[in-house]
Amino acid sequence: MDRVDQLRIFLRVAQCGSFTLAADQLALPRASVSTAVQQLEGRLGVRLLHRTTRRVSLTPDGEALLERARAVVADVDELEQQFRPAGGALAGRLRVDLPSRVARRLVAPALPAFLERHPGIEVELGSSDRAVDLVHEGIDCALRVGTLAASSLVARPLGTIRLINCASPAYLARHGTPRTPLDLPRHLAVNYASPTSGRIAPWEWQEDGAPQALAMSGRVVANNAETYIACCLAGLGLIQIPAFDVREHLAAGELVEVLPYWPAPPMPVHFVYPHRRHLSRRVQAFSVWLAGLLQPQLAA
């Protein structure tokens, strides 16, 4: 086993926190995985992992190696990509992170078509509402919705997502229907807290082309899109949500659009990935496919 393979195995063990799980994912005997890490530790002269009966964790030396190992493996992958025929079949693992609702409602149902087109690719699909650290967590690419924070990531704009204001019929029956933003102080919102920062997002709208914001009263705060929508369905308050997320609820009469002339500003959507001299053909293929998949939901 060469040194790059040892680094690949070390990265997978570090990611999984388990020799057994890493061996299962790599389709290797557990003994081979353990031996590879031991050989790497012997070559470097340091201990990389703390081993217990329940968990494997990185030592300080392991933490120091982690990012360098990711860079080395990525560089080797990029080098191999350069010398493969442009029309050759794509192969390998692709680690992707997506917002939870986009992953469940849009990407997962369509993923069989992508995998059928590229049978050599294995997709590891992460879905959350927090902004994961792509470099630290070894993610190849991600979809980000909302204003991007400053970072070293390469960001490709895909368009914007239209937001609408919604409430349940039960909420409107109890509290009345807001007709203009002037009515908002008399209403409740299901407030949304950023899963990354914990900050509660204000209620937003545009008036005469100028953005407006208001801190809304509310009795519940959610930090997950699924929970946010569920609380609205339960009659706990108004929400602002991408239109595609609640299309079926609106059609079924479970939610009602309110304040249609005062929507929040559309949210920008970006495909992001760590800077590389040569972008992986797997990432390129996935980005083109994802952009086409999302196009009907986006405005330019």
Work out the mean pLDDT of the chain and round it to a whole number.
88
254, two tokens: 């479970």
Closest CA to 266 of 213, 218, 215, 204: 204
pTM of model > 0.75: no
In this structure, the number of other CB atoms found within 10 A of the CB of residue 230 comes to: 13
- pLDDT greater than 90 at residue 276: no
Inter-residue contact 145 to 264 (CB < 8 Å): no
103, two tokens: 């992953």
Burial grade of 271 (CB within 10 A; 0-12, 13-18, 19 or more):
buried
Average pLDDT over residues 75-100: 74
Three-state secondary structure call for residue 69: helix
The CA-atom distances, in angstroms, between 184 and each of 121, 172, 187, 214, 266 are 49, 13, 5, 8, 20
Average pLDDT over residues 84-90: 64
Amino acid letter for position 8? R
- pLDDT greater than 70 at residue 82: no
Residues 6 or more apart whose Cβ sits within 8 Å of residue 221? 190, 191, 192, 193, 200
Question: In sequence order, what are the beta bridge partners of 144?
Answer: 270
84 pLDDT band (50/70/90 cuts)?
low
233, two tokens: 């369905």
Question: In sequence order, what are the beta bridge partners of 50?
Answer: 57
Rounded CA Rg of the chain: 23
- pLDDT greater than 70 at residue 83: no
Q: What pLDDT is attached to residue 11?
A: 87
Determine which of 67-71, 80-84, 137-141, 148-152 has the lowest per-residue pLDDT on average. 80-84
231, two tokens: 């609380």
Three-state secondary structure call for residue 170: helix
Domains and their CATH numbers in the chain:
3-82 (1.10.10.10), 91-160+268-299 (3.40.190.10), 163-265 (3.40.190.10)
Inter-residue contact 11 to 44 (CB < 8 Å): no
Residue 101 has φ and ψ, to the nearest 5°, of -70, -40
